[in-house]
Amino acid sequence: MNEEKEKIKHPKNAEEFKKIIAGKKPVLVDFFATWCGPCQMMGMILETFTDTYKNIDKVEIIKVDIDELKDIALDYDVMSVPTLILFNGGKPVETMVGMRPEEELTTKLDGILKGR
Answer whether residue 5 shows pLDDT above 60. no
Q: What is the mean pLDDT of the chain?
A: 93
- Quick one: average pLDDT of 15-39? 97
Domains of the chain: 6-113 (3.40.30.10)
- Quick one: average pLDDT of 73-78? 97
- Quick one: average pLDDT of 48-54? 95
Q: Is residue 36 annotated as a catalytic residue, yes or no?
A: yes
Point out the catalytic residue in the list 39, 59, 72, 109.
39
Give buried/exposed letters for 30-42 (b at 16+ CB in 10 A, else e). Answer: bbbbeebeebeeb
Going by C-alpha positions, the residue among 99, 70, 75, 98 that lies closest to residue 87 is: 75
Point out the catalytic residue in the list 36, 45, 93, 97.
36
With bands split at pLDDT 50, 70 and 90, how would you rate the model's confidence at 78? very high
| Global confidence as pTM | 0.92
- Quick one: average pLDDT of 22-47? 96
Q: Work out whether strand 60-65 and strand 8-9 pair parallel, antiparallel, or are unpaired.
A: parallel
